[in-house]
Chains A and B, each alone.
Chain A
Amino acid sequence: MKGFSYLPDVVTLTLDVDACIGCELCCKVCPHCVFSMHNNKAVIADRDSCMECGACALNCPTRAIMVDAGVGCASGMINQWLASLNIRFKDNDTCC
């Protein structure tokens, strides 16, 4: 994504090249073009652009891709944390 990059070397994305059958589905579903094809196999070309949405891992037919998928949302995580402590606000302004 041009002009934007988040923290480097932090995402949980892994690719087992040996298990890849070259279907290119990961390239098609990734909104950040993290993968590219090399010799009919997928390679992680732009790892730090990954936002861990999990679309590639879900759609990979051979489970060659693993990622701890989730939403990169601080307020969501704070709300989750508060909920785990049984703290709830009456007027909850959460978006999703």
Chain B
Amino acid sequence: MTYIVPPGLYALGDPDEDSPVLVTANYKMSYDLVRRAMHRHNVWLMVLETYGINVWCAAGKGTFGTDELVRRIEACGVSKVVRHRQLILPTLGAAGVKAIEVVKRTGFAVLFAALRIEDLPDFIKNGMVATPKMRELTFTLKERLILTPMELLPGMKAQLIVGVPLAILAGFHHGSFEFYRFMVAFCIAVAAVVCGTVVSPVLLPVLPGRMFAVKGAIVGLTCSAFFVAALRASHSAVLTELLALVLIMSTISAFYAMNFTGSTPFTSQSGVRLEMRRCLPVMACAGMLGVLLLVVGRFIP
């Protein structure tokens, strides 16, 4: 399945020479969302070559950028199709498009519209003026939840490489391998990933701390406390193992929560750099100490 739409000029509905010209990326989902939002409208849609990447990420990379826009304006012959000289671009494309350079090179004025595609019809109806609400980013529970599978699945895959060996290690007890202990340890490893990739993003605004790793560590610590309580109640755990459980679980959760920074619309590069510089060494130490305790635990009767 390909998610790329051929770049060029498309007609939505029955546009004429006075219809607005919208610009989007050639990621199929971007294209389809614009088509859906502009249902029953007569507009031109200019699709830029962004190699199947969405507007925001492509603008960051520069593919949804000034050069590509200028090239596409010339290549698709839009100046022969419409009388006016105005293009409507998504606001999030502004990181890649220098409006004054586009007008200098092509004569087309660039208008940055609303942030969300679904506000486009209202933006046009409002006389091409964005209301404050159209210019305000949101990050609702639903918007956060939609993103979690893309964090959870790679996290689970990684646990086959990291979690399974750790669980096998934890499965050895008194010199013999006990499947039950392996399963408990593996469940803990899976739960740790869920803490960082699902629970932390969902609870993001209510978790204490500014750094995502701190938020994730808090979720991991809380979850590990429940496991510690359960294991203590079953009298089957050694102290070193419980400590290892708390350390490893918090570290895994913190790491995945930190990775969620890239999925949010409000973290800065400088901020993430600072967070990583502060938190990665702590995570590395905590993780290694956890594994060390797990290994040491094998030799304690």
Show the binding face of A for B, using Cβ within 8 Å.
1-8, 10-12, 25, 28-29, 31-33, 49-55, 58-59, 61, 68-78, 91, 93, 95-96
B residues within 8 A CB of A5? 210, 266
Quote the shortest CB–CB distance from B181 to chain A (angstroms). 30
Quote the shortest CB–CB distance from A83 to chain B (angstroms). 15
Q: In the bound complex, what is the Cα–Cα distance between A29 and B100 (angstroms)?
A: 13
Q: In the bound complex, what is the Cα–Cα distance between A58 and B61 (angstroms)?
A: 13
Quote the shortest CB–CB distance from B70 to chain A (angstroms). 15
Q: In the bound complex, what is the Cα–Cα distance between A33 and B263 (angstroms)?
A: 20
Q: In the bound complex, what is the Cα–Cα distance between A50 and B269 (angstroms)?
A: 10
A-side interface mostly: loop
Q: Kindly state the interface size class of chain B when it binds its partner.
A: 35 or more
Q: In the bound complex, what is the Cα–Cα distance between A49 and B137 (angstroms)?
A: 11
Interface string of B128-165 (1 = CB under 8 A from A): 00101001111100000000001000100100000000
The reply to whether A6 and B268 contact each other, CB–CB distance below 8 Å, is yes
Pick the contact of B270: A12, A25, A78 (CB < 8 A).
A12
**Is B6's beta carbon under 8 Å from chain A?**
no
The reply to whether A72 and B262 contact each other, CB–CB distance below 8 Å, is yes
Taking each of B115, B136, B205, B272, which has the highest tally of chain A beta carbons within 10 Å of its own beta carbon?
Answer: B272
The reply to whether B211 and A7 contact each other, CB–CB distance below 8 Å, is yes
The reply to whether B210 and A72 contact each other, CB–CB distance below 8 Å, is no
Quote the shortest CB–CB distance from B253 to chain A (angstroms). 14
Pick the contact of A11: B157, B258, B259, B270 (CB < 8 A).
B270
B residues within 8 A CB of A2? 136, 138
